[in-house]
Structure 1
Amino acid sequence: MNPIAERDFLKAQILDLERLLCLTQDDFLMTPGLASRKREMERRLAELRMQPRTPQVILYFTGGPVRGSEGIDAQFASKVLDAVQDIATAEYLHRKHGALGARGRLPDAPEARLLLTALPRGSFGLELKQANGSDFVASQQLSDALQHMADLVSAAGESDATYETALGEAPPRVLPKLKAFFEALQQRGARLRLVTGDREISLDEQRVASGVERVRATESEEESISLHGTFRGALLDSSRFDFKLDEGEIISGRLGEEVTDAQARKMLAEIDQPAVANFRRTKLQPRGGAPRWSYELLSLLPDHQG
């Protein structure tokens, strides 16, 4: 039983026991047993709320690609699982290392790898859990990533305003996979219920269609740009950098995938020195919303005029 279902079950049990206690309050035989049972349910509910979240997501499908609870179209399932894994990985790395560009070099993230562990009944379900849950911090970061993925999927099917807010907290590289996810649902006429952590969302055909339209309308543009400022340093493990513009604004981002380890180490010699930084800048703009910019550092040159 997933945590949301277990929580709802315990709450329902407590309510039923409270009703019975009201009816049997003068019964000296039944009342103590019912009261004890109620205390046990309340204890289990309190423990459930205290437990750390499990990095788990369950996808329940109905509609075109599903045949009752017997099975699901393998090609459809493959497309959806591929999108979910890539979105989860990008969201996880975004939380662990900071802003991610639309492309760029990513550190390996085995702790974000998900395993297909069960096929829950009730329409047709796919249950995914963290492959290696030995690192508590990584597990909680992945749980946060999965919950934001649920928020983003729900927001895309809801309204422009909620989608813009959710997209503002997501790395740009989730956009192509988010499109693939919604398009797979629409092409096969699938309906979805997604459960992870304390989130549960549902997408019917209308919300799927709205999501496809909203995500497709999100513009993603890429350009090369050179800026003057001061290089503040980079972390080789995570490929993150900081660069302070002459105007005072600080740009944070990641090293481009073209940057080798030797080139990255050479950049470290330019810390706190005037420099001309060459960036790949990506603009992500939802329909009717404000643009978001992300930066990938491609090269760094001394600024002799600085």
Structure 2
Amino acid sequence: MIPRRLQKESLAAERATISQLLSEARGVDDIVGVMQFESRLAEIERELVELGSLNVTRASVAMYFGGPKVLGMQGIDADFASNVIGNFQDLVSKSFTAMEVGDMGSRGPVPHRAETNLMVTGVTRGSFGFVLEELGNQSEAFETPLTVVVDDVASLINEIASAEEEAFAERIASIDSRMISASRNLFGTLSKAEATVRIVEGDREINLGRLEVERGRERTEFLEVKEDPGIILTGLLLGLLPQHKRFEFQLSDGDVISGGVASDASRAVTEQLIGQTFNPIGKTWRAEFSSRTVSRRGMPSRTYYTLIRLLSESL
């Protein structure tokens, strides 16, 4: 199924055309035409209502391209098309693996790759591009993991290219290093081809013009991430939000660090809080963290922390 937004746009365009024809038919007292056009308008309204309540359970995304490599609706450069779709698929695969198994390491094959393959099921209208979909033999009652991943990848692309520096910095601090590499490849391909792209996924669309593409390329091309997976620190736990996976921790020297909470730690703390057997806030702890120091050319480096586990209470 093509993204819901495209279906709505198609129906809205048809509704405008039918409305114009209906007006013309009324103007010439074309009774048969009026009846036909009114019937079709009623059908369109029903279809729009059904689309609004439709439960989308499989991943679907449309990508429209512009620039020198695209000749209107006539065609697209084969090398560019192959590269950019491959880059997007690579980002989806690595995002899925990061969600399923965590850190992938810096080398080696990507696990679960075959489970994440999207299929090109059509070309877009208006500007040349492709519809990519998750195919399956059975209908799903709930959204598949790949649906969540494709939505997240679209958000990642948007945040990398966004003018909001803070949104970009926060997102980069939370993703796997191989996802950063995949993002770099995608924006590099778009930049080299002087391309623009419109991504339609679900009910939203993301438009990357030349300015956004170049911003994304510059951010990812000159990005360095240094990771330290095992840091032991002692300090006062000022705040902990397990469901939102956020913490605030005051070190013994008075500095305060904050960041995300690992899924395992968040789940364990949530269960203990619900059972009222554990309240770690306001106590001094010896805790394990991982850190990511993100640096870019011309920008000061920033270090982001993730709380892995509370090891022992410190008296």
Same-fold call, TM cutoff 0.5: yes
Q: CA deviation at 1:55?
A: 0.5
Say which SS state the counterpart of residue 222 (structure 1) adopts.
strand
Q: Using a 3 Å threshold, how does the CA distance of structure 1 residues 211 and 109 change in structure 2: closer, same or farther?
A: same
Separation (CA, whole Å) in 2 of partners of 1:251 and 1:203: 29
Q: CA deviation at 1:83?
A: 3.5
Separation (CA, whole Å) in 2 of partners of 1:93 and 1:134: 23
Q: Does 1:7 align with 2:8?
A: yes
Cα deviation digits, residues 72-130 of structure 1 (max 9, x gap): 11xx5555344323433455567789xx66959xx965796022333526665344322
Separation (CA, whole Å) in 1 of partners of 2:112 and 2:305: 21
Aligned position for 2:306 = 295
Aligned position for 1:280 = 290
> Of 219, 222, 232, which aligns to 1:214?
219
> Of 48, 58, 69, which aligns to 2:75?
69
Say which SS state the counterpart of residue 84 (structure 1) adopts.
helix
- Structure number with greater CO (CA < 8 Å, separation at least 6) is 1
Amino acid at match of 2:92: A
Separation (CA, whole Å) in 1 of partners of 2:45 and 2:203: 18
Q: Using a 3 Å threshold, how does the CA distance of structure 1 residues 63 and 23 change in structure 2: closer, same or farther?
A: closer
When normalised by structure 2's length, the TM-score is 0.63
Say which SS state the counterpart of residue 84 (structure 2) adopts.
helix
Separation (CA, whole Å) in 1 of partners of 2:130 and 2:105: 29
Amino acid at match of 2:157: V
Identity %: 22
Aligned position for 2:181 = 176
When normalised by structure 1's length, the TM-score is 0.64
Q: CA deviation at 1:187?
A: 2.3
* Paired residues of 2:187 and 2:216 also in contact (CA < 8 A): yes
Say which SS state the counterpart of residue 128 (structure 1) adopts.
strand
Aligned position for 1:195 = 200
Say which SS state the counterpart of residue 165 (structure 1) adopts.
helix
User: What pairs with 1:142-291 in structure 2 (closer than 5 Å)?
Assistant: 142-159=146-163, 161=164, 164-165=166-167, 168=170, 171-173=174-176, 174-216=179-221, 220-223=225-228, 224-228=230-234, 252-253=261-262, 276-284=286-294
Separation (CA, whole Å) in 2 of partners of 1:134 and 1:294: 40
Cα deviation digits, residues 167-202 of structure 1 (max 9, x gap): 645742232221221112212333323222223333
Say which SS state the counterpart of residue 262 (structure 2) adopts.
strand
Separation (CA, whole Å) in 2 of partners of 1:198 and 1:36: 27
